[in-house]
């Protein structure tokens, strides 16, 4: 039954075909580990994008904005730097919220503006331990809430299998790099065409602690270059890749960010499909 369901995903994207009308708790999500993802600030809040995948095939993917919480608080650590340059950790509880962003493949960790100002935070990053998971917040309206047994299985056995199959794979390395790359394109900045290779080196240097996988690096670099090529062919960027040409800041950054996110999401969806195919055959 599971195998037949996944075979149909060659036409319909993973899990998207499931009805979203049912008021049941959404999927528990695995979070790829990281030694530090930087928060990016915009519109009064600071957020960091976390790469995630589904641990419950039989439940709906989360709608955008659905709130989550860590299965284990100790799997997440936020380090902040204040205006004086001093670093310290702040508790997750009461300071950081987790919200679904792009289905089951991306969750935003958010530090709200009042916390930033109260704690005098100039910058922040979040580290994620191995086997980290996020559980959707309970909602009294859920017709089918999560049970303790489901949570234990998803965050235990299924998460451990995911670490072996997905987290340690070249795909996960590529996903981490693409996630870092997309965050480099802030709409408040301008870019010259000759800066684009340098941005990639910034990403790879920042991510060395997270990935040293050559195959993952190759896949991610290919995705980055394809995005530069694709975006440059879009109006109004045609013929803008001559050396030193200044590119439109807001529009170019947004297009690059979306393209890199799509590459990131596709890799994770494909990896998640292989994960469930493997379980179906075991």
Read off the pLDDT of residues 266-276 as tens digits, 9 standing for 90 and up. Answer: 999 999 999 99
Higher pLDDT, 231 or 84: 84
Is residue 152 domain-shared with residue 189, that is, in the same domain? no
Is residue 31 domain-shared with residue 162, that is, in the same domain? yes
Is residue 141 domain-shared with residue 253, that is, in the same domain? no
The neighbour count for residue 50, using CB atoms within 10 Å, is 24
Higher pLDDT, 17 or 178: 178
Is residue 128 domain-shared with residue 203, that is, in the same domain? no
Is residue 133 domain-shared with residue 180, that is, in the same domain? no
Is residue 52 domain-shared with residue 150, that is, in the same domain? yes
Band (pLDDT 50/70/90 cuts) for residue 220 is very high
68 forms bridges with which residues in the sheet?
98, 136
Length of the chain: 282
Is 282 among the domain residues? no
pLDDT at position 192 is 62
pLDDT at position 255 is 83
Higher pLDDT, 102 or 112: 102
pLDDT at position 211 is 58
Is 1 among the domain residues? no
Higher pLDDT, 85 or 242: 85
128 forms bridges with which residues in the sheet?
34, 76
Higher pLDDT, 204 or 60: 60
Is residue 109 domain-shared with residue 184, that is, in the same domain? no
Is residue 122 domain-shared with residue 135, that is, in the same domain? yes
Segment 20-29 shows an average pLDDT of 78
Range with the poorest average pLDDT among 102-116, 225-239, 249-263 = 225-239
pLDDT at position 104 is 98
pLDDT, tens digit, 9 for 90 and up, residues 47-64 = 999 999 999 999 999 999
What's phi and psi for 203, nearest 5 deg?
A: -65, -50
In percent, the amount of the chain with pLDDT more than 90 equals 56
pLDDT at position 190 is 56
Is 4 among the domain residues? no
Last residue of a domain, one of 125, 151, 168: 168
Is residue 125 domain-shared with residue 225, that is, in the same domain? no
> How far lies 259's CA from each of 13, 40, 199, 211, in Å?
18, 18, 15, 22
* pTM for the predicted model, two decimal places: 0.84
Segment 215-236 shows an average pLDDT of 83
Segment 54-77 shows an average pLDDT of 97
Last residue of a domain, one of 124, 141, 168: 168
> What is the Cα gyration radius of the chain?
19
Is residue 26 domain-shared with residue 90, that is, in the same domain? yes
Burial class (CB in 10 A: 0-12, 13-18, 19+), 214: exposed
Q: Is 36 left (phi over 0), alpha (psi -120 to 50) or beta?
A: left
Task: Show the tokens assigned to 15.
Answer: 């899990």
Rounded Cα distance between 5 and 136, Å, is 24
pLDDT at position 3 is 34
Is 273 among the domain residues? no
What's the total number of domains in the chain? 2
pLDDT at position 244 is 44
pLDDT at position 146 is 96
Is residue 234 domain-shared with residue 177, that is, in the same domain? yes
- Which domain does 84 fall in, by range? 15-168
In the 8-state DSSP scheme, what is residue 24? B
Rounded Cα distance between 6 and 51, Å, is 22
Is 7 among the domain residues? no
Is 111 among the domain residues? yes
pLDDT at position 2 is 31
């Amino acid at each position: 039954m599971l195998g037949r369901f996944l075979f149909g995903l060659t036409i319909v994207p993973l899990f998207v075909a499931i009805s979203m009308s049912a008021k049941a708790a959404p999927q528990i999500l695995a979070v790829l580990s990281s030694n530090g993802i930087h928060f990016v600030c915009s519109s009064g809040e600071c957020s960091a994008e976390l790469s995630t995948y589904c641990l419950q095939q039989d439940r709906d993917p989360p709608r955008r904005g659905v709130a989550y919480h860590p299965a284990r608080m100790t799997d997440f650590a936020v380090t902040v730097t204040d205006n004086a340059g001093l670093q310290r950790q702040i508790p997750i509880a009461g300071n950081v919220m987790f919200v679904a962003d792009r289905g089951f493949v991306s969750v935003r960790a958010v530090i709200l503006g009042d916390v930033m100002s109260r704690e005098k935070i100039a910058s922040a990053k979040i580290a994620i331990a191995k086997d980290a998971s996020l559980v959707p917040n309970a909602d009294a309206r859920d017709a089918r809430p999560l049970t303790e047994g489901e949570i234990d299985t998803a965050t235990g056995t299924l998460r451990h299998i995911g670490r072996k199959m997905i987290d340690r794979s070249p795909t996960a390395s590529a996903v981490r790099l693409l996630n870092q790359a997309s965050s480099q394109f802030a709409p408040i900045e301008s870019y010259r065409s000759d800066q684009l290779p340098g941005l990639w080196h910034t990403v790879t240097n920042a991510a060395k602690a997270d990935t040293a996988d050559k195959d993952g690096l190759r896949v991610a670099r290919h995705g980055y270059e394809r995005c530069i090529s694709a975006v440059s062919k879009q109006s109004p960027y045609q013929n803008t890749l001559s050396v030193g040409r200044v590119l439109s800041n807001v529009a170019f950054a947004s297009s690059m960010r979306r393209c890199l996110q799509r590459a990131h999401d596709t890799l994770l969806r494909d990896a998640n499909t292989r994960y469930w195919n493997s379980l179906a055959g075991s």
